[in-house]
Amino acid sequence: MSRPGSFAIVLRLAVAACLGWIFYGCAPATESPSPCTPPGSASVAPSGQPGQLDIFHKPLATGIYTADPSAHVFDGKLYIYTSHDLDTNRPDDQLGGQYDMEDYHVLSLTDMHSPAVDLGEILNVKDVPWAVQQMWAPDAAFKNGTYYLYFPAKDDQGIFRIGVATSSSPAGPFVAEKEPIPGSFSIDPAVFVDDDGQAYMYFGGLWGGQLEKWQSGSYDALGAVPASPQKAIGPRVARLSDDMLSFDGPVGEVTILDGEGQPVVEGDFNHHFFEGPWVHKHKGTYYLSYSVGEAQYMAYATSDDPLGPFTFRGYVLPPVQGWTTHGSIVEFQGEWYLFYHDASLSHIDHKRCAKVAPLTYNADGTIQLITP
């Protein structure tokens, strides 16, 4: 979630902002309640059918700033769990302090040609006994008749932990457990439930996400990213217990291999993991998508085992307006979609908006690069 300050990033944001005003005419969001009607709501869907909206590549919500969309199909409806960028202007401390986030919202879609509906706040930091600040990217899952919301937050020591909250409804509200998941750390939890019912949590993020500080197995405030060309740090993975509230066994590291079958090394900014892991399954193959960080692409790798290793295959999404990239991939009503975010609604890096785009697989299982 953190980023290096640079003139290049500022310049790219400025250029993208100008283009956004020219092509989309987006007005800044307000912090009043939605409706979530996206800009261009009078447009016609790609099918050309009158009365259908073209929601692709447009903000799903304009009443608030939403980021880190985690999309899931529950009971035939699409639910998108998002973090909420507050309309504040905290300084960039190089550790993500400018991303001011204290609660989660869920949006819903009944189909892909109608506006999203903001179902409101489903969890706030004030209702999490152990959490103090920075409610960053969440995820959700369903098992045993219960809906689970997983989320990172800093505790009273300033260390990121991962918590879980439960609900009887996918729309919440969710009630948080009194303590974080034992043995959890860092950010960006993503839970994948396999066909056999086994659930896995993938998580981790460098820099502001603190993943590099856990290389020894315990928190080291002086922990740093390895020097190039050492093996790059990978995301973490753990099996979840049957009750979905704890890890079932030790936390492991996911290895990402390059095209030659060798572990990706530090300094390979086009391939290495930075943050935002997401795992989905397509035709028996496991896909790990993630942000590479500095190069700002959303990459993906594949494996025949949910624990990896995963082999780099290409990119899902090129750089978008804003520094962070974070997304989820889901099948809905027979088609596949990528949910992602950018800063096109505000033209400010830490005030983002969730979007959706169609996703296409090639015959060999590779994913076609999406043009945002």
Who's near 93: CB < 8 A, 6+ residues apart?
Answer: none
Residues lower than pLDDT 70 in the chain: 1-51
Give the chain's radius of gyration (CA, Å): 19
Query: Does any domain span residue 95?
Result: yes
**Residue 1 confidence (pLDDT):** 57
**Residue 50 confidence (pLDDT):** 52
Using CA atoms, how far apart are residues 104 and 108, in angstroms rounded to an integer? 14
Marked catalytic residue, from 68, 103, 188, 349: 68
Cis previous bond, 115, omega within 30: no
Active site residue 177: no
Query: Does any domain span residue 284?
Result: yes
**Residue 52 confidence (pLDDT):** 74
Using CA atoms, how far apart are residues 166 and 193, in angstroms rounded to an integer? 16
Half-sphere exposure of 248 (CA within 13 A, CB side): 11
The one-letter amino acid code at 67 reads A
Q: Are strands 310-317 and 256-257 parallel, antiparallel or unpaired?
A: parallel
**Residue 294 confidence (pLDDT):** 87
**Residue 51 confidence (pLDDT):** 60
Query: Does any domain span residue 371?
Result: no
Active site residue 121: no
**Residue 53 confidence (pLDDT):** 85
Marked catalytic residue, from 102, 118, 275, 342: 275
Distance of CA 358 to the CA centre of its chain: 17
**Residue 49 confidence (pLDDT):** 56
Q: How many domains does the chain have?
A: 1
Query: Does any domain span residue 52?
Result: no
Using CA atoms, how far apart are residues 185 and 205, in angstroms rounded to an integer? 10
Using CA atoms, how far apart are residues 164 and 312, in angstroms rounded to an integer? 30
Using CA atoms, how far apart are residues 65 and 353, in angstroms rounded to an integer? 5
Query: Does any domain span residue 120?
Result: yes
**Residue 310 confidence (pLDDT):** 98
Using CA atoms, how far apart are residues 190 and 328, in angstroms rounded to an integer? 9
What CATH number is associated with residue 107?
2.115.10.20
**Residue 28 confidence (pLDDT):** 33
Query: Does any domain span residue 43?
Result: no
**Residue 11 confidence (pLDDT):** 39
- pTM here is 0.88
Query: Does any domain span residue 245?
Result: yes
Q: Do 302 and 361 meet the contact criterion of CB atoms below 8 Å apart?
A: no
Using CA atoms, how far apart are residues 28 and 159, in angstroms rounded to an integer? 33
**Residue 100 confidence (pLDDT):** 87
Question: Domain span at residue 329?
Answer: 7-28+65-359
Query: Does any domain span residue 199?
Result: yes
